Amino acid sequence: MQQEFKTPIPVVSCAVVNNSRVLLLRRAIDPFPGKWAFPAGHVEPGESAEASIVRELKEETNLDLEVRYLFSMGLEVENGNAYLSMTFVAYTDVDDVTIDEESLDWQWVPLETLALEHVDWAFPNHRKIAKALSTGAMS
């Protein structure tokens, strides 16, 4: 029997790093409200992945940052949708973040493995990204 094909939805996320800390946003919206994630969002029609994450960073954190592409991965989350997740990293020395209505809170979390193990992550791929950053695998 042939497996049903699902067209993946393109999404982007960005690990924002500041002095050995990573920025996390506590989600106010579905999916997974109340859980923590990197700034992220959907790619809009006609938009490149890079332009999309720069726009999402500005909307969600009020940060204007240059991003560097890291990798992409296909995944399916609990809601049954297939996604193509494109991950970026950005570095900043700005400590203050202004969040929009998509987030309840924000925090800088040390990039130490133990600190990240206790985060209630919204998305499993964000946990993988954080672990890779904390071990220097994405430097």
pLDDT tens digit string along 84-99?
999 999 999 999 999 9
Question: Residue 16's CB: how many other CB atoms inside 10 A?
Answer: 24
Average pLDDT, the chain: 91
- Please give the model's pTM, rounded to 2 decimal places: 0.91
Residue 138: predicted pLDDT: 65
pLDDT above 70: percentage of residues in the chain: 94
98/59 Cα distance (integer angstroms)? 9
| Contact (Cβ atoms closer than 8 angstroms) between residue 21 and residue 108 | yes
Judged against a pLDDT cut of 90, whether residue 39 lies above it is answered with yes
102/26 Cα distance (integer angstroms)? 9
Give 105-132 pLDDT, tens digit per residue.
999 999 887 778 889 999 888 988 888 8
54/66 Cα distance (integer angstroms)? 7
